[in-house]
Amino acid sequence: MKTRLSLVLSLALLPAAARADEGMWMPQQIPQLAERLKAMGFRGDPQAFADLTGQPMGAIVSLGGCSASFVSPDGLIVTNHHCVQGALQFNSTPQKNLMEDGFLASARDQELTAGPGSRVYVTSSVKEVTDEIIGKIDAKLSDRARHDVIERRLKERTAACEKDGLRCRVASFFDGLKYFELAQMEIQDVRLVYAPAEGIGNFGGETDNWQWPRHTGDWSFYRAYVSPAGKSVPFAKENVPFKPKHWLKVAPEGAGPGDLVFVAGYPGRTQRFATYAQTVELAEWAFPRTVRRNTELIALLDEVGKTSKETEIRVATRKRGLSNTLTNRKGVVEGFKRGNLLAMKESMEKNLAAWIAADPRRQKTYGDVLPALDAVQAEKAKTRDRDATLMDLLGNGSSLLPAAHTLYELSLERPKKDLDREAEYQERNWSRIREAQDRLQRSYDPLADRALLRYILGEASQLPAGQRIEPLDRETGLTSGMSETDAGRKIDALLDRLFAGTKLSDKAERLALLDKSTAEILATKDPMIALAVALDPLWQANRERTKTRDGAYERLGARYAQAILEKSGGLTAPDANGTLRVTYGRILGVPARDGLIYSPQTTLAGVAEKATGKGEFNAPKKQLDAIAAMKAGKKTPYADPRLGNVPVNFLSTVDTTGGNSGSATLNAKGELCGLLFDGTFDTVASDYLYDAVRTRSIHVDSRYMLWTMSEVDGATNLLKEIGEAPSLDVMAPGR
């Protein structure tokens, strides 16, 4: 298997016209792209990208959901504004709402903790461990037994890697065809340094989200702190700034149309290797369900948020996350319809099946894969409504019921040997579980939590016969076919009992229960815990079924991916999976639709034109004054002479997805010329089937960041720290 894949990965590139700029590449693949990059004008050393502890890759970090990068020798980190919303919310009060006003620490002792659970991950090594994970597995094992073997090996490998105090992950690539071990330093003391006001950092709000033209100042700064001995420790007054080995120079000249740019970060997940059946479920069930639910949940939170300023702050981050996902999923659904992507996906799969059938060797190697994958998918679909609703109940749909379930499950897992525990409850995650329960207090609101739980219970009440959550029906008296009115009365009675009797809204109570035995937790007779306990058997049964399915996917997926790779005959990037990737492209506009062309840059002029002084377009007065002063003749080193203005955002052809938020956009010299923060609405379906012509990503220009820091927010301390003290003479046109 390993030899065959190496052969596939070493073949020549596909024709450039067919490939466009597709590919979230593993850094170690970049040297194989040398000829392609050279043809695009790159004169650097592609090998530099493969050195994850060198420059520039050693400066790229993960925040555990967003990407970021070091920009000073004192641990200063730049990322997106929307990536620090949790920290802003954690430090906000009705009297001082940082989510609206922004924040700037003029000295290091003014920097604020980002809150429990905040992390910075600095990569120290990546190595292939395919043979260690899937080597010498008996082909006769059942799917469940196969999964158990792989899961055990993953846990053992992770534990061995973490003996040196690192945070490690063994990740699957090409649907289980390859495995790589990633070792990272996990920095626990993360502090908020600077975030512009909402009227800059989220200018345009949901109206402009995923849209172009865009005028959003989506940047903010953190700082990483460690102990005086350089060790990763929780927040402490005596901690000192982390000293990274590498950091990026911020390019004061930014980047312009036609320039080659790279994006380095941690994209979350794409599913371009998904089968047609899997893609149909996403397009016709999962995403429409998300669109409906998020629309209704946002409206619900809007109403709850009107009750008080405190509630509005507590629900803001959840509402923004729902809104971002809603817009994305709408774009994907529309993209599937408009681009006829399902038909294209079906055609591609039929071509693959015909290619397999045309050769006896291929038929023997791959012939059973597609039918078997479709059978697994069909079995999963039988209870998808029930299973998704149960996940909402005990996952993250509300706050207290999932907290109760976490406490109960942890008590069941704690007595086991660590390698026998479910992965999420291994000892390596106990501190994270505690931090999550601690941080929950800053976003918990009883009115909002009751409203969210009522919504999910309402969904459960309408499940069809055959997909009922039977333990819930027994607890509430709900039945299939019951009217919404009657179901609502029973749900309200349950909620009255839950919220009147639970003590889990108290942080100290929750944290104390983290260390209790199952018997002690049951002895509390807390009604929220009692409901979680009643639902747990179905949760456990679903987990067992999932493990069996995963064993099938692990057996079939690798061969499916191998067939695709062999048929393509070219170097191919694996699907994004939350690991470090590099993508490249040019700053370039795009024909948006008939008669309309998107130019690749926007400027401060657009900010002034859009500013209404209200809502999503409430640009700060000091920013508008600075724009007016520049228009009146005040010079700035950050103006682009070709535009006659300061660039704000730009489009490029780089291939990105969620998780890339905050990724460093690098020029050909490896300098930070911007930050990736979004994609365009009409091409978000590229996560599932890449659009080689229209796909664009949206970046904030480094010049807008520097101009705002200089002319609007007075962040002179940070400008000096990143080495930016420009001279108008040096930065004059023609530099």
DSSP 251-319: -TT---TT-EEEEEE------TT--HHHHHHIIIIIHHHHHHHHHHHHHHHHHHHTT-HHHHHHHHHHH
pTM of the model: 0.92
Please determine, for residue 110, whether its predicted confidence score (pLDDT) is greater than 70: yes
Tens of pLDDT, residue by residue over 538-547, are 999 999 999 9
Question: 538 lies in which domain range?
Answer: 380-543
Task: Report the distance separating Cα 375 and Cα 363, nearest Å.
Answer: 18
What's the whole-number mean pLDDT along residues 495-516? 97
Please determine, for residue 435, whether its predicted confidence score (pLDDT) is greater than 90: yes
Strands 664-666 and 260-265: antiparallel
Containing 596, the helix (H) or strand (E) segment is strand 596-598
Kindly report which listed range (41-55, 423-437, 605-619) carries the lowest average pLDDT score. Answer: 41-55
Tens of pLDDT, residue by residue over 154-185, are 999 999 999 988 999 999 999 999 999 999 99
Is residue 106 included in any domain, yes or no? no
Is residue 485 included in any domain, yes or no? yes
Alpha carbon 205 to its chain's center: 19
Q: Beta-carbon neighbour count of residue 207 at 10 Å?
A: 11
What's the whole-number mean pLDDT along residues 134-146? 95
Q: How many residues does the chain have?
A: 735
Q: Angle at CA 614, nearest 5°, toward 612 and 619? A: 65
**541 CB-near residues (< 8 Å, 6+ apart):** none
DSSP state of 395: T
Farthest CA pair distance, the chain: 78
Is residue 429 included in any domain, yes or no? yes
Please determine, for residue 451, whether its predicted confidence score (pLDDT) is greater than 90: yes
Rounded percentage of the chain residues whose pLDDT exceeds 90 = 88
Characterise 437 by phi-psi region: left (phi > 0), alpha (psi -120 to 50), beta (else): alpha
Please determine, for residue 59, whether its predicted confidence score (pLDDT) is greater than 80: yes
C-alpha torsion sign, points 674, 678, 680, 683: positive
Characterise 135 by phi-psi region: left (phi > 0), alpha (psi -120 to 50), beta (else): beta
Task: Report the distance separating Cα 152 and Cα 551, nearest Å.
Answer: 13
Is residue 626 included in any domain, yes or no? no
C-alpha separations of 113 from 117, 269, 434, 445, 513 in Å: 11, 29, 17, 22, 25
Q: Nearest-CA neighbor of 730 among 255, 254, 253? A: 253
Tens of pLDDT, residue by residue over 594-630, are 778 889 999 999 999 999 999 999 999 999 999 999 9
**598 CB-near residues (< 8 Å, 6+ apart):** 212, 213, 589, 590, 591, 592, 651, 696
The DSSP string of 317-332 is HHHHHHHHHHHHHHHH
C-alpha separations of 651 from 16, 589, 675 in Å: 20, 6, 11
Kindly report which listed range (335-349, 522-536, 660-674) carries the lowest average pLDDT score. Answer: 335-349
Supply 72's token pair. Answer: 């000073």
Is residue 727 included in any domain, yes or no? no
Kindly report which listed range (283-297, 430-444, 587-601, 667-681) carries the lowest average pLDDT score. Answer: 587-601
Domains of the chain: total: 1
**If pLDDT is split at 50, 70 and 90, which confidence band does 728 have?**
very low
* Contacts by residues 4-11 (CB-CB < 8 Å, ≥ 24 positions apart): 4/562, 4/566, 5/174, 5/177, 5/178, 5/562, 5/565, 8/562, 8/565, 8/566, 8/568, 8/569, 8/572, 9/565, 9/571, 9/572, 10/571, 11/569, 11/570, 11/571
Supply 119's token pair. Answer: 């992390």
Where are the alpha helices (H) located in 650-715, listed in sequence order?
702-711
DSSP state of 269: -
42-76 b/e with 16+ CB inside 10 Å = b? Answer: bebebeebbebeeebbbbbbbbbebbbbbbbebbb
Which position has the higher pLDDT, 552 or 693? 552
Instruction: State the residue for tokens 């927010």.
Output: 713
Is residue 524 included in any domain, yes or no? yes
Is residue 78 included in any domain, yes or no? no
| 3-class SS string, 581-649 | EEEEEEECCEEEECCEEECCEEEHHHHHHHCCCCHHHCCCHHHHHHHHHHHCCCCCCCCECCCCECEEE
Alpha carbon 366 to its chain's center: 33
Task: Report the distance separating Cα 527 and Cα 731, nearest Å.
Answer: 66
Task: Report the distance separating Cα 307 and Cα 458, nearest Å.
Answer: 23
* 49, 57 contact by CB (below 8 A): yes
Which position has the higher pLDDT, 324 or 623? 623
Where are the alpha helices (H) located in 384-429, listed in sequence order?
384-394, 400-413
* 23, 45 contact by CB (below 8 A): no
Phi and psi at residue 664, to the nearest 5°: -70, 130
Instruction: Provide the annotated active-site residues.
Output: 82, 218, 661
pLDDT of residue 339: 75
Containing 30, the helix (H) or strand (E) segment is none
Is residue 452 included in any domain, yes or no? yes
3-class DSSP state for residue 294? helix
Q: Nearest-CA neighbor of 660 among 25, 128, 170? A: 25
Supply 515's token pair. Answer: 């260390």
Supply 96's token pair. Answer: 């001082």
Which position has the higher pLDDT, 523 or 590? 523
Tens of pLDDT, residue by residue over 193-215, are 999 999 999 999 999 998 999 99
Task: Report the distance separating Cα 660 and Cα 655, nearest Å.
Answer: 10
The tally of CA atoms less than 13 A away on the side-chain side of residue 253 is 14
